[in-house]
Amino acid sequence: MKITKRQLRKLIESYNSMSPAGHSLANSIKRKFVKLYPDAKVGIDGRGGWITVNGEKAINMSQASGGPMTDEEMIEKMHVVYAGKQVDTDVPTSSSRMYTFREGKMKITKRQLRKIIRESLLKEDRVLNLIRDEVSDVVKKDPLISNYIGWNEPNVVLAPYGTPGKIEVQLSNPELVPPERDMAMAAARFKRDLERLNPGYTFDIELDMYSAKDSQTLPEEDPDGFYRSSSASASVSYNITVNEPER
């Protein structure tokens, strides 16, 4: 089998390039790092498969995804590039027994850096967990959906700030379910109610999928035997993005 240099170059580029999942992870890590260091210039080289910090390669996403590396580990590697120096091991003495980063006049231990990163990540997770519960309540109490959701619970999956998540709802009614147009309009009400409950936060919500089944006659059993009833149903999903709050 013969292969040209151009074909070989394309194969290498294809191997190194980021998958959609890798690109989504890179964007999530970028947002978290910039939140810690607002003046950092973080780039994503999708073709080469790198996250860069201030123009320098920091994380090879193929290795990070294959490892896999935790968010904390990736942010720590980015900090090393951002600080401009690798972590140095101080000679253990009575006054110095730690790994340090040197950033101008600032001196921070590796343990302190990990604590800062961990607290930042945990804070976002806690906020998203609270918002997820509010999303579920807002959907269940919507003046339209509340008539059709019954005992079903919305399935709400929120992604990190700026990344689309999902709201999935199952509707049913003996005769009919709302038309797609009305379900699309409900997204604006979700957005309004959530932004009122969460000052400083903004949300992007839109209908993603609507699949309805017309009323069908179904046999059901009661103590006296079988009887027939009708039922209509619909599956609905929305894309929901929680945007980074303004500081």
- The pair phi, psi for residue 79, each rounded to 5°, is -65, -35
The span from the CA of 66 to the CA of 75, in Å, is 17
Place of tokens 């930042």: 120
Quick one: 242 exposed, middle or buried, by C-beta within 10 A (0-12, 13-18, 19+)? buried
pTM of the full predicted structure?
Answer: 0.53
Q: pLDDT tens digits, the chain, 247 residues: what are they?
A: 566 656 556 555 554 566 777 778 888 888 888 888 888 888 888 777 888 998 888 888 777 666 677 888 888 888 888 887 444 444 333 333 334 444 444 556 666 666 666 666 667 777 888 889 899 999 999 999 999 998 889 999 998 888 899 999 999 888 888 899 999 999 999 999 999 988 888 999 999 999 988 755 555 556 665 555 567 889 999 999 999 886 5
- The residue ranges of DSSP E strands in the chain, in sequence order, are 42-45, 50-53, 56-60, 88-89, 99-103, 106-109, 155-157, 165-173, 203-222, 225-242
